[in-house]
Amino acid sequence: MPPSRAEFPSPARTSTLNRRLSVAPMLDLTDRHCRYFLRLISRHTLLYSEMITTGALIHGDRERFLRHDPAEHPIALQLGGSDPADLARCARMGADWGYDEINMNVGCPSDRVQNGRFGACLMAEPGLVAEGVAAMKEAVSVPVTVKHRIGIDERDSYGELVDFVGALRQVGCDAVIVHARKAWLKGLSPRENRDIPPLRYDVVLQLKRDFPDLAIVINGGIKTLAEASDFLTTLDGVMIGREAYHNPWILAEADRLILGAAPPAPTRRAVLEAFMPYAERQLAAGVPLSAMSRHLLGLFQGQPGARAWRRRISEQAHLAGAGVEVLAIGGREPIPPSHAPDA
């Protein structure tokens, strides 16, 4: 059963959702604990879930995949799938659980994803992607968006990209998020596909000139708010990926500099202290500390004592009996051997 609206309020559920800055969906990284942590640094940056397949939601434990804390809003759900009926069904689930946007993954190049007929390989089937978007648009009132590449394999002409984006615009897609690299479906790993194909920001900028009425968000290789600001003079949004995960403090000034809000910027210590009550609640619910602490390791990047703090967390968070004191500045003595897990 989905949660009640009172449990999961959704403060921003219109096509005017502020997408000027967002953190990319990243498999095994942007889970609910990561999103809660990032939300303590920036109140308004749009956050995305990990990609969740339609099969997992239809046949698996949807509560495990969809539950989130009200503090995470605004938050988008990214779906992986290609069957329009399944996409519509899962989009309804996401909307019922309070997600502020539904996003379709047309960018992941992994073999597993290709075998399931979703991700980047769908760029070769713009009609099918458009059918999926249309089905989701009919099923939900929240924005429906697509994240895709600029091309795949040898199918990387600008004309094919225009045809793909044009098909999405025609069915009312609310925004496209364009990873400014092509994807090689054979010969490169997913990790290599994040680095080896050259970035083509010029292609995304040209798309905006050709589709001025469509919200276009750029993704790929952007590491600073200054870079983001430069793109925002032309484009509708910027999505930052792994830099925001490994160096999350780049988001500390995002609300003021990018998103038009002016709350006082938090301190790193204040963010850590604010995370503690959440971690305690999760520990009480049976979540191991290590499932949460791994997302915090970049918080003090470049600060004095950061290495020792990270080392203590890495050495102690996985031990039986590890509590939130492991995360504290200054920490505690190592957990006694009697409390360590069996060898």
Which residue in the list 34, 108, 121, 173 is annotated as catalytic?
108
Fold of the domain spanning 268-339? Four Helix Bundle (Hemerythrin (Met), subunit A) (1.20.120)
Considering only residues 31 and 113, tell me which one the structure prediction assigns the higher pLDDT: 31
Q: Give how far the C-alpha of residue 127 lies from the chain's centroid of Cα atoms, to the nearest Å.
A: 26
pLDDT band at 335 (very low <50, low <70, confident <90, very high): very low
For 21-257, which CATH superfamily applies?
Answer: Aldolase class I (3.20.20.70)
- Measured distance CA(45)–CA(326) in Å, rounded: 28
- Measured distance CA(227)–CA(308) in Å, rounded: 31
Contacts of 170 (CB under 8 A, 6+ apart): 130
Exposed, middle or buried, 304 (CB in 10 Å: 0-12/13-18/19+)? exposed
In b/e form, how buried is each residue of 258-284, taking b as 16+ CB within 10 angstroms? Answer: bbeeeeebbebeebbebbeebbeebbe
**Residue 34 known to be catalytic:** no
* pLDDT tens digit sequence for 292-329: 999 999 999 999 999 999 999 999 999 999 999 999 98
Please give the pLDDT value at position 329: 82
Domains 21-257 and 268-339 agree in fold: no
Contacts of 336 (CB under 8 A, 6+ apart): none
Provide the 3-class DSSP secondary structure of residue 216.
strand
- List the single range of 64-68, 141-145, 258-262 with lowest mean pLDDT: 258-262
* DSSP codes of every residue in 176-215: EEEESS-B-SSSS-TTGGGTSSPP-HHHHHHHHHH-TTSE
Q: Give how far the C-alpha of residue 111 lies from the chain's centroid of Cα atoms, to the nearest Å.
A: 21
* pLDDT tens digit sequence for 236-275: 999 999 999 999 999 999 999 999 887 777 899 999 999 9
* pLDDT tens digit sequence for 212-243: 999 999 999 999 999 999 999 999 999 999 99
Structure tokens at 190: 């997913």
Structure tokens at 285: 């619910």
Please give the pLDDT value at position 9: 31
- Measured distance CA(102)–CA(304) in Å, rounded: 40
pLDDT band at 174 (very low <50, low <70, confident <90, very high): very high
Every domain of the chain and the residues it spans: 21-257, 268-339
Specify whether the CB–CB gap between 133 and 172 falls below 8 A. Answer: yes
